[in-house]
Every structure is written in structure tokens, then in C-alpha cells.
Amino acid sequence: MAATIIDGKGFAATVREKVAAHVARLKDENGITPGLAVVLVGEDPASQVYVRAKGKQTTEVGMNSYEHKLDVDTSEADLLAVIDKLNNDPSVHGILVQLPLPKHLNEDLIINSVSPAKDVDGFHISNVGLLGTGQKSMVPCTPLGCLMMLRDHHGSLSGLNAVVIGRSNIVGKPMAQLLLGDSCTVTIAHSRTKDLADVVRRADIVVAAVGRAEMVPGDWIKQGATVIDVGINRIEAPEKGLKEDGSVKTRLVGDVDFASCSERAGAITPVPGGVGPMTIACLLANTVTACCRANGLAEPEGLTA
């Protein structure tokens, strides 16, 4: 039987509606407008697209958006000074430094210079430690979006076998922590994992965050499992014809082979339209959460882990 398609695009719209409702309440009842500052260093085209999308969605839910576009050869000291200013600005509740940074900047140093309370990406070492010890933290947006969709689909995740493929700091590791927090039995797989197919076949939940196009075939998937595909990979699509410059058109695919996996899975996220839209929605959710915490106000229900 074909899998249920988990509609990340629709789910993200619901999250944004909840955020907008809470923002409206904060404005009406407390006279506070949450603000998100995004810092972009350089002109990486993909980063520029993300930053534009973040800015647009931030204002659409009624929050203030502040964009800081810095020259590609901005020094570490100058970038740290910008972040310090934002850390001390009471109208800014969330700060996001768009990654990747140019090579001459120390990414760990920069990430850890953001105030943990305003670290809406959840990458600061304090937030990583808080999440790892089951304490209230800012949770990384992509894994938070995956968790929301899993909770919505399953209700309780308690006791389920979850396999996370990928151990990056931004997706794989925090995803595993969140699933552990919801009482899954968690396995983290990576490039050195032996018999990955066997490991994945035991999973009730598979989260693929690898960055390899359609790597997971359908026969790795246990009948009825839930598959969350984080991967975003651009591949050539000759069936779509040629671009104006004569090169082959492309399309986006995930880390799982959607056609064969959806034959066996109980539920699956598509690419595009699955995890991707949830990531920005969760960034907005984190910003409103950070604003509430900063002002000692009740946090919105269902928008954090």
C-alpha cells in the first residue's frame, strides 16, 4: 500500500499561523514585537535566497526583520562587533548567522559569540549541552521541524526504534537527542556504519540527513515505517529538457528514493515540500519562544520541543 505523504508545506503554514497569532497577542497585550536579526557575510547565492525567504516570512508573521549584509572579507573582529551589538539590542530576540561563513572566519567562535538566549539556530555550545541533558534550550530548526511532524503523525514516539542517518551538528546529532527525549530507541548511522541496510530495516522511524541523492532504496525500509527525508540534492533532469544556456535542467531530490520507499513506508515526507518548509517555520517559532523567555512571558504551546 502506498505511504501517506506528510505535507510539510501545509504543516509549516499551520506553524506560521500559530506564530502569527502569538505575535499578535504579544503586540496587543504586552506591546512587544519580536525581532529576528539575520547576519549574512558574503554573497553566496544559495545563502542569499535563504536570507530573503527568512526576511519575507518573518515580516509576514508580524515580526520585525533586521538584515545585516556584510562584505565577504569582513574581519572576525568586525563580525564579532556586529553580533555583540545585536546581543545587547533589546528589540532583537533572535540572531541567526547564515552559514557557511567565508573560510577566514572561525565558525565555532562566531556561533558561540551569539547570546545563547538569542541563538534561534540552537547551535551555541550552551544550547547543545542543555538539549543533551534534557533541559530547556533553543532547539535547531530542522530537527525541531522533523520532530513536530513525527509527533503529529504518531502521537507518542515512546518505544519506537529510530535510525538517524547522518551525525552532523546541525541535523543528525540534535535529531537523535530529540528522539531520545521522546523515548525512542535511537541509532545514529554515518559513513562508517557497517551493514547500513540492516540497521535501517530495524527502524520504525528513519531520518535521512546525508546529502547523497536517493541513497536509501525502498528495500531498506521496514513495512509501515515513517521516513523523514532531510536531504536536498539537485540532480540533472534530462526529461525536463535544456536551459537557455544549453545545459540540462535540474530537479531537487532527497536522500531517499521516494518512488520505492513510498511503496513500503507507512508515511513519508516528499522533497521538495517536506522538511524544507518546516525549517524556516521553526526559525520563526524559535524567535517567538526566545522573545517570550526574554520577557518572562508564557511560551506558545506546541512550538518547541
Interface residues with ligand NDP (CB under 6 A) are 142, 165-168, 170-172, 189-193, 196, 209-212, 230-233, 275-276, 279
* Phi, psi torsion values for 36, nearest 5 degrees: -120, 125
The rounded distance, in Å, linking the Cα atoms of 211 and 8 is 19
> Which of residues 11 and 82 has its CB atom nearest to ligand NDP in the complex?
11
Quote the least distance from Cβ 272 to ligand NDP, whole Å.
9
Quote the least distance from Cβ 255 to ligand NDP, whole Å.
6
For residues 195, 201, 6 and 51, what is the CA-based torsion angle, rounded to 10 degrees? -10
> Which of residues 204 and 214 has its CB atom nearest to ligand NDP in the complex?
214
Q: Do the bridges between strand 267-268 and strand 250-253 make them parallel or antiparallel, or are there none, so unpaired?
A: unpaired
Quote the least distance from Cβ 119 to ligand NDP, whole Å.
17
Quote the least distance from Cβ 212 to ligand NDP, whole Å.
6
Contact in structure between 180 and 188 (CB atoms under 8 Å):
no
For residues 121, 41, 276 and 23, what is the CA-based torsion angle, rounded to 10 degrees? 60
For residues 220, 224, 230 and 233, what is the CA-based torsion angle, rounded to 10 degrees? 50
Quote the least distance from Cβ 141 to ligand NDP, whole Å.
7
> Which of residues 64 and 106 has its CB atom nearest to ligand NDP in the complex?
106
Cell numbers that stand for 170 in this block: 546541525
The rounded distance, in Å, linking the Cα atoms of 140 and 170 is 7
* Tally of CB atoms within 10 A around 21: 14
Cell numbers that stand for 173 in this block: 546529532
> Which of residues 204 and 229 has its CB atom nearest to ligand NDP in the complex?
229
* Tally of CB atoms within 10 A around 17: 12
> Which of residues 57 and 74 has its CB atom nearest to ligand NDP in the complex?
57
177 is catalytic: no
The rounded distance, in Å, linking the Cα atoms of 281 and 7 is 14
73 is catalytic: no
Catalytic residue among 18, 54, 173, 222: 54
Catalytic residue among 57, 98, 182, 204: 98
> Which of residues 19 and 176 has its CB atom nearest to ligand NDP in the complex?
176
The rounded distance, in Å, linking the Cα atoms of 121 and 139 is 7
Give the residue at shortest CB distance from ligand NDP. Answer: 168
Catalytic residue among 18, 119, 121, 222: 121
Question: Locate cell 542569499: which residue?
Answer: 48
Rounded (to 5) percent helix, strand, coil in the chain: 45, 15, 40
54 is catalytic: yes
Q: Do the bridges between strand 250-253 and strand 233-236 make them parallel or antiparallel, or are there none, so unpaired?
A: antiparallel
Quote the least distance from Cβ 273 to ligand NDP, whole Å.
11
Q: Which residues are catalytic?
A: 54, 98, 121
